[in-house]
Structure 1
């Protein structure tokens, strides 16, 4: 299943039909799908779309797991009081997932390039399912409360590793799969299956605790917080079934560096500055977004006061999170219309303006009688963030690098973003505290900081990012090939070996799949197979 099966030489009966001399002389790599043929692989609309969906939609779990903990933390504070609020657990259970996510991103970024996009996704999904379930059932030895907090923290770290795999393996494979979709819609589909999924995760992560508190009431919060976490296993379990049917993306088959030593020095020379810019923008975006998302319940509780019922606080939290949706949905079309670079810059600039306005008007907006106005303005602030960097930063990271190192490039950028989120969740309370406890400034300062970071992001995006078109992936691969050739690197080594490539057809799956790492290899492909049928030779 995961590619560990030992490959045996094909028997004479299994061998492919004899090939012309020209085919026998060709390198044993899958490079047979021309760039202009990715839209013409013989697949129907559903066969083109569902791989992108199955690869990218796992990011729903990122939004859910990271947002639900804000409400869960509020419930734990009410249940355990000072035992929770005065312990390190209050910070750790919220922030530790980001640390695990960084570890997962870096690990699976490497495996997605050097092992398999599909198998990396399967492993990360299983990790996410197992440790999300364990987090919901956290228990301390002998019924110890502190032991339970420690277990919850540990399980959320490990669940974060699974979430981390969704970024380099899932988003990168999603971006590559969109190459088979109609030009003019590719950015839209990528965004719908990645950032829109994260944002729906944020919304559902806010709504589920609200619904459970309504059902369980405040007298049974122990059940409510555990069920809130436990429901996080449902989406990845559904996706796991779909992902078993996935194949490696066509671009990965053609341009993979799986079987060669990656020339990292050349990669850094070519992509170093671009990676720095993408990473910096992602850091600043996540610093603000995840911090505000996690602490939105706290912000609302401060407006209403400690006596407000949880249903009121959680209900308004859900309303605020719903504002993510129009921003990310409109942003998916906006990105195709003006391009990711300008969509990102204009969206984040507008967000900065709203952030400064909100900070200035906070004393008025923070009055309980104006909570609806607060929710709307705060929601617009979040929505613009999704229209700009939320929708486009992952798109930029996945399409501004060559396929052979795309997983690691994306992983570094995404990990930097999660470090920003990790830092933000720790720094956010101190920024509030700097304004003075219980004062308007304590809420104004975070918006001033966020607005300044948004302005800087807009400048970086506008002046330091390249333009990204509908066919940027194939053009980037061609450009990187040219660069490698100019440096004396043998580009004929790019691509998967024919014997290890997988069926990519729609309709028939192929009559027989013979694979070999040695002398002979045969693949009798179905209707849309694009695998070169040739004898394997020794790797050049």
Structure 2
């Protein structure tokens, strides 16, 4: 028995419910963008409250960045395994709960007897555990969203679009809101109550986490997971690696290079703000320009989401990387002229960031979640995403010495050097994508699962134990036929 196709005559409520399931899985990544974005403003506030020397004395900046990245990597790798073995819903609910709890505890950070060092240590520790929850969303929420995006009833012409909008676009939207919230709170509380501003900026991260937690309560496992998971059987890792190591290595390396670029170039937002404001210390001006710069992420990710289903993730990724490289080289060559008009520099820099979101920002999620079988999708995605975070971590450490080697941040070469390097890395990523990453095909997830089963059987693996126990055939459906019927489906 096949699930009925959804057409334009289907009630709008039903069509919205189909798409809303994708967003229920992926929208929690908004918390990732918010948590990563807001910590920069919080650190600015902490410097004003406790003094730059106090934060430097406790090596706070280095510690909080290091433990945050460590938490992400732990969450991605650990929950990649758990989402495959215990279920997508378990992973998503656990991730939301962790984010909910540790967002609140981070906001409540304090030291014994008012100790600043104790407060900073607790805040760093809470950021580590929060990072685990945020990292868990990648192989749990994103993977589940990818599986929901190819459910019967979702228009094939919008499969990748909905996935991009529910994952990477949500992260970027989180960055925008994270820049806006401290500004609004500063307007409300004023310069004499910065304690309230930084604590509420962190604590408000509870709200989206709670909303997503409640949204997910009545969710079921995706049909793909029910049919092809290895929850109750041994995962043959040797066979998996033999078949998928090349695609995993290529996607992971592209993600590594992209995160190295995007996280490192985040440091230029503070440079732009400083130049635009003439070194102003007025938090209204500093936070206001931070909002403007973060807004540049949105056009790229939204436009890219509507292009992916036409060009395909592979070619959209290549186009985005090449265009980002061209803009980066342009900024390097015309740096002096652009900085004479800082508004022009900010716009061109924003376009540079937008092309990053247009291509690799959106497409790494899609390629990592749809280039492997359901049975190991969480682990495949978790390893690729963790490799990306490793690139971000390495980039934040190696680029300052690189800038210094080019002549320092006050020299022309010191300012243009990172753009030359970043643009070259973007071209390298485009070349790797062209040579080693395979394009996704229609019905690719269903076809890959079928071919993976055949591959396992040829190599002597018993596939009869795959899938969840007691799932009725009517619920799983006859995959190929229901896919044919869904070609006509339209989603508003």
Q: Same fold (TM over 0.5)?
A: yes
Q: Which residue of 2 aligns with 1:29?
A: none
**Secondary structure, aligned partner of 1:260:** coil
Q: Which residue of 2 aligns with 1:361?
A: 334
Rate the CA distance shift 1:162–1:234 in 2: closer, same or farther, 3 A: same
Q: Residue 148 of structure 1: CA displacement?
A: 1.0
- Retained in 2: the 8 A contact 1:95–1:425? no
Q: Residue 216 of structure 1: CA displacement?
A: 2.9
**Secondary structure, aligned partner of 2:451:** helix
Distance across 1 between alignment mates of 2:280 and 2:379: 48
Q: Which residue of 1 aligns with 2:18?
A: 48
Show the 5 A alignment for 1:342-357: 342-357=315-330
User: Highest Rg: 1 or 2?
Assistant: 1
Q: Which residue of 1 aligns with 2:283?
A: 310
**Secondary structure, aligned partner of 1:443:** helix
Select the residue among 68, 80, 98 that pairs with 1:109.
Answer: 80
Q: Residue 427 of structure 1: CA displacement?
A: 2.9
User: Structure 1, residues 108-131: CA drift from partner, whole Å, max 9, x if none?
Assistant: 100100011001110111011111
Q: Output the TM-score relative to the length of structure 2.
A: 0.91
Give the gaps of 5 or more residues in structure 2: 479-492
User: Structure 1, residues 130-165: CA drift from partner, whole Å, max 9, x if none?
Assistant: 111111111111111111111111100100000011
Q: Residue 241 of structure 1: CA displacement?
A: 0.4
Q: Which residue of 2 aligns with 1:467?
A: 439
Rate the CA distance shift 1:165–1:294 in 2: closer, same or farther, 3 A: farther
**Secondary structure, aligned partner of 2:244:** helix
Q: Which residue of 1 aligns with 2:234?
A: 261
Rate the CA distance shift 1:430–1:73 in 2: closer, same or farther, 3 A: farther
User: Structure 1, residues 190-236: CA drift from partner, whole Å, max 9, x if none?
Assistant: 00100110010111111112222333333332222211111111111
Q: Which moved more, 1:215-224 or 1:254-263?
A: 215-224
Q: Which has the higher helix share?
A: 2
- Retained in 2: the 8 A contact 1:402–1:476? yes
Give the gaps of 5 or more residues in structure 1: 1-31, 502-522, 533-540
Select the residue among 40, 46, 58 that pairs with 1:76.
Answer: 46
Q: Which residue of 1 aligns with 2:415?
A: 443
Rate the CA distance shift 1:304–1:440 in 2: closer, same or farther, 3 A: farther
Q: Residue 412 of structure 1: CA displacement?
A: 0.2
- Retained in 1: the 8 A contact 2:303–2:358? yes
Select the residue among 342, 359, 372 that pairs with 2:343.
Answer: 372
Q: Which residue of 1 aligns with 2:482?
A: none
Distance across 2 between alignment mates of 1:278 and 1:256: 22
Q: Residue 380 of structure 1: CA displacement?
A: 0.2
Q: After the TM superposition, list the runs of 4 or more consecutive aligned residues in structure 1 that deviate by more than 6 angstroms.
A: 40-43
Q: Which residue of 2 aligns with 1:282?
A: 255
Distance across 1 between alignment mates of 2:105 and 2:319: 42
Distance across 2 between alignment mates of 1:448 and 1:105: 31
Rate the CA distance shift 1:295–1:230 in 2: closer, same or farther, 3 A: farther
Q: Which residue of 2 aligns with 1:151?
A: 122
Tell me how many residue pairs correspond in the alignment: 470
Show the 5 A alignment for 1:108-507: 108-180=79-151, 181-293=154-266, 296-301=269-274, 304-367=277-340, 370-434=341-405, 435-498=407-470, 501=471
- Retained in 1: the 8 A contact 2:227–2:476? no
Q: Which moved more, 1:299-308 or 1:317-326?
A: 299-308
Q: Residue 308 of structure 1: CA displacement?
A: 4.1
Q: Which moved more, 1:454-463 or 1:427-436?
A: 427-436
Distance across 2 between alignment mates of 1:141 and 1:187: 50
Distance across 2 between alignment mates of 1:437 and 1:253: 54
Distance across 1 between alignment mates of 2:207 and 2:411: 41
Q: Which residue of 2 aligns with 1:99?
A: 70
Aligned alpha-carbon RMSD (Å): 2.2
Q: Which moved more, 1:76-85 or 1:472-481?
A: 76-85
Rate the CA distance shift 1:87–1:357 in 2: closer, same or farther, 3 A: farther
Rate the CA distance shift 1:378–1:38 in 2: closer, same or farther, 3 A: farther
Rate the CA distance shift 1:74–1:155 in 2: closer, same or farther, 3 A: same
Rate the CA distance shift 1:38–1:440 in 2: closer, same or farther, 3 A: farther
